[in-house]
Chain A
Amino acid sequence: DQQVKQNSPSLSVQEGRISILNCDYTNSMFDYFLWYKKYPAEGPTFLISISSIKDKNEDGRFTVFLNKSAKHLSLHIVPSQPGDSAVYFCAASHQGAQKLVFGQGTRLTINP
């Protein structure tokens, strides 16, 4: 059973516009959510996280939104830049279980 799902395998966005990546989860015990960015042949790089006590967290061009009732989170990147082209993974965990559960990833391509 896929507890964390990223239903869009790929997304293409024009440079300067907003990129919105989506993630859904099924386990209501999850209380900590993260987004990672991955370039080819490199490990995932931590981008931003959010605790379930919040519904929004912002860091520069990156904002994560959490809708607990819908079990949905999203990552907004604005403005999008060519260097943002990568695979993005959302991940979740809950207190007492340190392991991260990852989605399948979304490949973001930023077009000049």
Chain B
Amino acid sequence: GAGVSQSPRYKVAKRGQDVALRCDPISGHVSLFWYQQALGQGPEFLTYFQNEAQLDKSGLPSDRFFAERPEGSVSTLKIQRTQQEDSAVYLCASSSLGGLSNQPQHFGDGTRLSIL
């Protein structure tokens, strides 16, 4: 597709359930990022992949959060034993080059996660 695609757009889960959020980056983009955006705030970094390698996971708030990109394209963000504070919009972004080159990140429309 032309842009970053995320699914589902909306997810409602009960506290304690596990959820999986999918990101399909722009074709050929090496770098993939996950961000969390709380209401009224800017996006906050969660984790970064260069191809299939997870190079930075410093933003993951707890060990309940896990991300993978096994074949270097599609990525999944998994949240186990969800809690109410996990309610947020989860944004995925990709960029064309990794390493030290500055390239803009292009975002998907996000998944709005609501934990009841």
List A residues at the B interface (Cβ < 8 Å): 4, 31-32, 34, 36, 41-46, 49, 51, 89, 91, 93, 95-105
A96 to B48, CA, bound (A): 12
State the total of A-B contacts with C-beta under 8 angstroms.
65
Establish whether residues A49 and B108, one from each chain, have CB atoms under 8 Å apart when the complex forms.
Answer: no
How many chain-B residues does the 8 Å CB contact rule pick out?
Answer: 29
List B residues at the A interface (Cβ < 8 Å): 4, 6, 31, 33, 35, 40-45, 48, 50, 55-56, 59, 91, 93, 95, 98, 100, 102, 104-110
A46 to B91, CA, bound (A): 14
Establish whether residues B100 and A99, one from each chain, have CB atoms under 8 Å apart when the complex forms.
Answer: no
A103: chain B residues within 8 A (beta carbon): 42
Q: A43-B108, A44-B107 are known contacts. Are A104 and B98 too (CB-CB below 8 A)?
A: no
A93: chain B residues within 8 A (beta carbon): 102
A103 to B104, CA, bound (A): 16
B100: chain A residues within 8 A (beta carbon): 95-96
Establish whether residues A99 and B45, one from each chain, have CB atoms under 8 Å apart when the complex forms.
Answer: yes
